[in-house]
Structure 1
């Protein structure tokens, strides 16, 4: 920290206060100001990359605020979409995001967070992006491209599944085969104009007019499209985080704001599971840990070795179990 403070004084680095958001950057980005972290990094990167003057920082922050207001105006329609997603999950179905570029990758991140955050299964919510891992410059493996969806998922879609299209181009790409999909189909579109009239037939269309008045009077022409795309990505993040979080709440994954369906996959989650048992069962820390270990080892009579074992050993056993 001292070295970072020296670097900051020399204008060689920024220190982002954890109170604002960066503290949980390795955890779920939907929690504990993770979105604020993203906004801060976006703003700093744009200002540095495009050599904007410092007064542009306020304009950039105002842009994100305007994007947030645009998303909040769509609350009534978003509620309908949440209920649709929740009904699919409750009936054993799945939610599939279909997107491209920044919004597609944002959807991938949203889907990936559902496993550790809500104890969801791998297939509950999945994201597929045009280009697959090539979009991420990854050299090994691919399960996330639109070709993977077409080959592995689309032929097996059921009536209780939900496909969420995040881009007009992807909608038109799948238009010839949409009528043969027995699942529910929705479009979530962020544009600067209403394009819902040209959207192929879907069960539901959420078209949000991303009203960014600050961009219309933007004093710096360079980077205007980049800034718009970043505002669009953060708006998709808010929408999809809200969709997947609320759908899991309605599914019963959350009780009194606690994620109660916890797979004990690391030491942090071991402690969380013990605290959940302690809180809702009115037990001491020792008693809660005892019951957690009984669950992990599948016995009412723990051995001395099991009781005295290291948390790492408990996690290894727990992470190999089916829920």
Structure 2
């Protein structure tokens, strides 16, 4: 391959086994400090991808995340948090992981090397031209992801990626790539570390920005969040109290009656 796989380069540190707990903490933290600056450099790419996603979701499309291992798990995590946080349908943002749901908790042997399964997984969800598919792979070489995006491109489906390696196969195949170069990991090749942190940061930026642009946040509040526990009911009640200046108990009654902060405020008379 004609690119430098920085995610596999030797760690800047050696003899880790001889370090004290404090030395390990400080050195890992020093490496982690580099991640936000690396993400900042990718801001223009992230902006382009967000605008594409918003355009597609406004016409009824969906957002797919695809990955293997840590990358796949992070995509599934971000997708799973969109409905409770923003009150959107569970099928608006979908996370797919090589090896299926089993792979969320346990590694599935050779799943990421199957260059047919990614496209099959997308077809099982009836992927179409209104959708956006984002491949996530620190290395940028995962066959499960790359082949899926190649098939998307052939079928007129918008594609993006989140990878840590410039000029990697995934970078080249994605129509709207996001490349965050975080450099070698503290433990050589352990891309669940800085690479995983960078991926999580980018996913947070993408999903949050998309939902704000789709009108799922008012002011700075999650007015469409699902009321799935007492903490969230309490949070929602306080939002209503603050917004329309009524007492706590009345606000809570409105919230439980109408099912969301937005609906409670809109129906208050």
The TM-score normalised by the length of structure 2 is: 0.75
C-alpha displacement at 1:150, in angstroms? 3.5
Q: Which residue of 2 aligns with 1:281?
A: 244
Q: Which residue of 2 aligns with 1:82?
A: 50
Cα RMSD (Å): 2.7
Q: In structure 1, list runs of 5 or more residues that go unmatched.
A: 1-48, 140-144, 297-323
Query: Would you say the 8 A contact 1:196–1:207 is kept in 2?
Result: no
Secondary structure, counterpart of 1:253 in structure 2: coil
- Say whether 1:239 aligns with 2:202: yes
Q: In structure 2, list runs of 5 or more residues that go unmatched.
A: 1-15, 109-116, 260-269
Query: Would you say the 8 A contact 2:149–2:159 is kept in 1?
Result: no
- Say whether 1:149 aligns with 2:121: yes
Superposition map of 1:83-102 within 5 A:
83-102=51-70
- Say whether 1:160 aligns with 2:130: yes
Superposition map of 1:1-323 within 5 A:
52-53=19-20, 54-135=22-103, 136-137=105-106, 146=118, 149-153=121-125, 156-167=126-137, 168=140, 169=142, 170-174=144-148, 177-191=151-165, 193-195=166-168, 199-200=172-173, 202-211=174-183, 223-226=187-190, 228-295=191-258
C-alpha displacement at 1:130, in angstroms? 1.0
Query: Would you say the 8 A contact 2:75–2:203 is kept in 1?
Result: yes
User: What is the count of residue pairs matched by the alignment?
Assistant: 230
Aligned partners of 1:183, 1:102: CA distance in 2, in Å?
Answer: 25
Larger Rg: 1
Query: Would you say the 8 A contact 2:54–2:210 is kept in 1?
Result: yes
C-alpha displacement at 1:238, in angstroms? 0.4
Assess, with a 3 A threshold, how the Cα gap between structure 1 residues 120 and 293 changes in structure 2: closer, same or farther.
Answer: closer
- More relative contact order in 1 or in 2 (CA 8 Å, sep 6+)? 2
- Please identify runs of 4+ aligned residues in structure 1 that moved more than 3 A: 49-52, 145-148
